[in-house]
Amino acid sequence: MEKKETLILAVITILAAVLVVMLGMRKINYHCDEIWTYGLSNNQGGINPSFDRGVEYTGMGPFESFTMVQDGEGFHYANTWENQAKDVHPPLYYLFIHTVCSVFKGSFSKWYGIGVNLFWMILTIIGLYLLIKELTESVVATTGAVIAYVSSVVFLDTMLLIRMYAQFTFFVVLLMLLFKKNWDKKPEKSFLINLGVTLVLGMLSHYYFLLIAFFMCLAYGIKLIMSKDGKSVRNYIIALAVSGLVYGITWYHILAHIFNGYRGKEAISKATSLGGLISGVTGMLSILNSEAFAGIGIVFVLIGLCYVVVRVWKKQSVFSYAFIMFLCGLFYIVVVGKICPKITTRYIMPVGWIFIVSAYLAVRYLLHEFKAGKAAEYIVIATFCIISVFNLATRNFTVPMDYADKNQMAAVETAAGKKAVVYVDLDWKILYDFVILQNTDGYTFVDEENAQAVMDSQTGDYILIVNLEEGSEDVVGGLDSQLLYDDGMNYYYLVHANKR
């Protein structure tokens, strides 16, 4: 890489980091899974928070031991590994979170998680630049395509969500880069070793990585078979088998997670059912349209169709490597849309860049075909920059992973200076209430046995939090209460004490 390219890459990375940090400073709320990230990484003795009902807590309360590394618990990777064995995800991301939290033990901060994501962001930008440079052989086009992705809402969401999806994205990019550099070559030893390591680390990041790996490994395998090079096919199969064996020995808990874990059973049930395919795919594409293309994705679908028609008309191969990547992204969306527990942004994150880059390359190709000359490069860059700015502007320069619901944040403000009573059936559900509880003067967890007594003991207006999917009305029945916020599972009420 020339010095000019290194400078360009450095500038893009710094600007992307500044944008992520600016949005990170505005992040004031968390999904319960983000708090769980810290708990799974750091909590000793289990994957759920531990607390007593009927006891009043203040400040971090039970969240302290759950989310923070305590004295003598730093760099205890065996515990993190054990926690993930009890959970439903592989452990690699949590090991990184635990490492950072061990450095800053006795404290909690969103920046520990965002900081880990920034690390993966840097590697992703470098890998993506190298990949697109392989595809275009143009510094300007490569720069533009990278900018199109790192300025998108889906990219910013990926970096702000304190889960493993930034890491997952990097390994998808790395896998694509490895295959591209070896696409028209025989599988040499160095390639097979790098591929094996990437497959193992990718699968230690997220199980859905298997879908990307399956598609790309199959595509490359078919290409080798068509070349009628038996030795190369044999070496390739052996390398894949060895990487699978290494992974199986390293993380044998995958079998329990898939066949006994609730997420695994849910995925199998959805995969074998007849319904859900169309709604899953349309739901995934809707999120992609919103976060990657600001709602004008249909325009790029038409451009993509024009791209295919022009290439066929000019008797050019449609099945370029970029098109193979695009098909891989579609395959992932179809399968994940069918089996995922909920259609949500996080499942788009690892492949969002594929569709942005594909759209960018299609627009660029058509402009060049219509003799736009050098101006074509800058027209494409400007187009995608405008889309990104428009997408952010229409969201008031926030992103969904802020989880800054106006009604919920208003409830958090209302809770200031008040006591809170939290009616909860399952211990893990208190993770939903992390932010609002930090803003109260004290909070007490209750269940059906002691709820009435604790509520009757309140001497002033208080916040009643009900973490029940059904029956919240029964809890507040007879209370002089005002519903401040609900999401269908968690309900925040302002209760006027002693007024029944």
Q: Where are the alpha helices (DSSP H) in 373-457?
A: 375-393, 406-415, 434-438, 451-456
Task: Provide the pLDDT for residue 471.
Answer: 86
- Overall average pLDDT of the 11-24 stretch: 98
> How distant is the alpha carbon of residue 297 from its chain centre?
21
Average pLDDT, the chain: 96
pLDDT value at 480 more than 50: yes
Task: Provide the pLDDT for residue 500.
Answer: 47
pLDDT value at 385 more than 90: yes
pLDDT value at 1 more than 80: no
- Rounded alpha-carbon distances, angstroms, from residue 50 to 67, 98, 159, 216, 427: 11, 19, 29, 43, 7
In terms of Cα–Cα distance, which of 46, 47, 29, 45 is closest to 37?
A: 47
Q: What confidence tens digit (pLDDT) does each residue in 63-103 have?
A: 999 999 999 999 999 999 999 999 999 999 999 999 999 99
* pLDDT bucket at 376, cuts 50 / 70 / 90: confident
Task: Provide the pLDDT for residue 497.
Answer: 79
In terms of Cα–Cα distance, which of 328, 75, 48, 384 is closest to 209?
A: 328
Task: Provide the pLDDT for residue 164.
Answer: 98
Task: Choose the weakest-confidence range: 128-142, 315-329, 372-386.
Answer: 372-386
Q: Are 461 and 495 within 8 A, CB to CB?
A: yes
Task: Choose the weakest-confidence range: 1-15, 162-176, 466-480.
Answer: 466-480
- Overall average pLDDT of the 9-20 stretch: 98
pLDDT value at 313 more than 80: yes
Q: Could you tell me what percent of the chain has a pLDDT over 70?
A: 99
Which residues touch 337 (CB under 8 Å, ≥6 apart)? 277, 280, 281, 282, 283, 284, 343, 347
In terms of Cα–Cα distance, which of 52, 48, 50, 49 is closest to 454?
A: 52
* pLDDT bucket at 121, cuts 50 / 70 / 90: very high
- Overall average pLDDT of the 133-154 stretch: 97
d(CA 285, CA 283): 5
Query: Directed axis angle between helix 375-393 and helix 277-293, to 10°?
Result: 110
pLDDT value at 269 more than 60: yes
Radius of gyration over every alpha carbon of the chain, rounded to an integer in angstroms: 25
- Overall average pLDDT of the 172-184 stretch: 97
Task: Provide the pLDDT for residue 404.
Answer: 86
| All structural domains of the chain with their residue ranges | 31-108, 116-402, 406-495
Task: Provide the pLDDT for residue 499.
Answer: 52
pLDDT value at 235 more than 80: yes
For residue 41 the two structure tokens come to 């990484």
User: How many other CB atoms are found less than 10 A from the CB of residue 237?
Assistant: 13
The two beta strands, 491-495 and 462-467, are antiparallel
Task: Choose the weakest-confidence range: 124-128, 319-323, 370-374.
Answer: 370-374
The pTM (predicted TM-score) of the whole model is: 0.97
Query: Directed axis angle between helix 277-293 and helix 153-160, to 10°?
Result: 100
Query: Directed axis angle between helix 153-160 and helix 110-136, to 10°?
Result: 140
Task: Provide the pLDDT for residue 342.
Answer: 94
pLDDT value at 498 more than 80: no
pLDDT value at 373 more than 80: no
